[in-house]
C-alpha cells in the first residue's frame, strides 16, 4: 500500500489564511483574528498529529501526540499504522515522507530494519521508506489535506478546547479519536 505520511500542528489560537464571501454590502466582513492564550487555560496552545494518507482508499489515518513528534513517538505511530494495515490484509507499506530529523534518525531507521525482519519472519506489514527531496513539501499529497482540514475546523469566534479541536479534526477526516501517543519522560 502506498502511503504519504507527515506531522502537523493544529493551533487552538492562530487562524489559517482564508478568504470568505459575504452575502452583501450590508453584511460585515468575516474577520479571523489570532487569539491570545489565557494564562489559566490548562490546554496546550497547539496539538501535534501524525497522519498517513492511504493512496488505496484516500482515507487519512491520524494519531495525536501528547507532546511533540520525536523519534520514539514516530516508531509508535508506524507500529500502530502497520498493525492497522495488517488487519486490512496489507503486506507492505511504501511510505513516502519528508526528511524531518525524527524520520531519518538512527532510532527510526533501526526500528524499521528490526520491524521488517520480524514482519518477514512472523508475517506482518513491511515498511519501505521513500524520502522526499529536501524542501519540497508540495510533493507530498498529504500537505493540501492538512490545509483543507485546518480551514474546516476553525472557530472564528474564539479558541477551541484541545478535546473539541481533536474531535472536530477526527470528525472532518472520518477517523477514530484514539488516545494520544505519549512521549518518553526521562
Of the pLDDT bands very low, low, confident and very high (cuts 50, 70, 90), residue 137 is confident
Q: Are 178 and 63 contacting, i.e. CB atoms less than 8 angstroms apart?
A: yes
63 phi/psi in degrees, rounded to 5 = -140, 125
Q: Is the pLDDT reported for residue 43 higher than 90?
A: no
Express each pLDDT in 99-135 by its tens digit. 989 999 999 999 999 999 999 999 999 999 999 988 8
Whether this prediction's pTM lies above 0.95 is answered by: no
The beta strands (E) that lie in the chain are given as: 2-11, 46-54, 60-66, 92-97, 126-131, 181-182
CA 45, distance to chain mean position in Å, is 16
To which H or E segment does residue 81 belong?
Answer: helix 71-87
Residue 133 lies in a domain: yes
**Residue 186 placed within a domain:** no
Q: Is residue 36 part of a domain?
A: no
Q: Which domain, by its residues, includes 68?
A: 2-12+42-179
> What CATH number should be reported for the domain holding residue 83?
3.30.420.10
Q: Would 20 be classed as within a structural domain?
A: no
Number of domains observed in the structure of the chain: 1
**Beta sheet of 126-131, edge-to-edge order:** 126-131, 92-97, 2-11, 46-54, 60-66, 181-182
Q: Does residue 37 sit within a domain?
A: no
Q: How many residues does the chain have?
A: 186
Note whether residue 19 is domain-resident: no
Amino acid at each position: 500500500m502506498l502511503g504519504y505520511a507527515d506531522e502537523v500542528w493544529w493551533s487552538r489560537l492562530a487562524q489559517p489564511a482564508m478568504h470568505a464571501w459575504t452575502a452583501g454590502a450590508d453584511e460585515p466582513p468575516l474577520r479571523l483574528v489570532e487569539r491570545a492564550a489565557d494564562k489559566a487555560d490548562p490546554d496546550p496552545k497547539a496539538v501535534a498529529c501524525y497522519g498517513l494518507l492511504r493512496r488505496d482508499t484516500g482515507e487519512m489515518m491520524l494519531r495525536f501526540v501528547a507532546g511533540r513528534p520525536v523519534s520514539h513517538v514516530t516508531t509508535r505511530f508506524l507500529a500502530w499504522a502497520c498493525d492497522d494495515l495488517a488487519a486490512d490484509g496489507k503486506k507492505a507499506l511504501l511510505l513516502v515522507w519528508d526528511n524531518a530529523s525524527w524520520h531519518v534518525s538512527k532510532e527510526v531507521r533501526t526500528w524499521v530494519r528490526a520491524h521488517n525482519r520480524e514482519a518477514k519472519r512472523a508475517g506482518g506489514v513491511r515498511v519501505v521508506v521513500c524520502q522526499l527531496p529536501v524542501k519540497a513539501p508540495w510533493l507530498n499529497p498529504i500537505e493540501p489535506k492538512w490545509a483543507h482540514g485546518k480551514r474546516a475546523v476553525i472557530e472564528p469566534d474564539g479558541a477551541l478546547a484541545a478535546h473539541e479541536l481533536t474531535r472536530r479534526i477526527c470528525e472532518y477526516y472520518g477517523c477514530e479519536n484514539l488516545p494520544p501517543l505519549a512521549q518518553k519522560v526521562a
